[in-house]
């Protein structure tokens, strides 16, 4: 049973593109003031912080992004402190 060399080449190219795409899809980059919750098959696995991270593309997923910056309310206080100097 001879298989044409062209068909074997196409098969190997498909497998190579699939493997390279899977590996490259696993890398992701996080900004400095941000964190990401990683789940593996729906269960909490870890928190990824700033920098380049890797996740297993078919098993792990990003569940949510967390902003680590200090949150300030949009309003300002108009009350003056009651200080007495004696």
State the average pLDDT over residues 48-68: 92
Domain positions in the chain are 5-67
How far lies 58's CA from each of 19, 25, 61, 68, in Å? 12, 10, 8, 28
Whether the per-residue pLDDT at 56 is higher than 80: the answer is: yes
11: region left, alpha or beta (phi > 0 left; psi from -120 to 50 alpha): alpha
Task: Report the pLDDT averaged over residues 15-23.
Answer: 93
- CB contact at 8 A, 70 and 34: no
Range of weakest confidence among 13-17, 27-31, 59-63, 79-83: 79-83
Measured in degrees and rounded to the nearest 5, phi and psi for residue 59 equal -110, -35
Query: What pLDDT, on the 0 to 100 scale, is given for residue 64?
Result: 92
């Amino acid at each position: 049973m001879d298989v044409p060399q062209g068909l074997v080449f196409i098969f190997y190219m498909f497998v190579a593109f699939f493997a390279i795409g899977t590996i490259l899809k696993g890398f992701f980059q996080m900004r400095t003031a941000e964190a990401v919750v990683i789940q593996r098959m729906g269960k909490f696995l870890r928190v990824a912080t700033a920098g380049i991270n890797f996740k297993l593309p078919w098993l792990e997923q990003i569940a949510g992004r967390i902003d680590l910056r200090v949150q300030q309310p949009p309003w300002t206080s108009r009350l003056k402190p009651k200080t007495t100097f004696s």
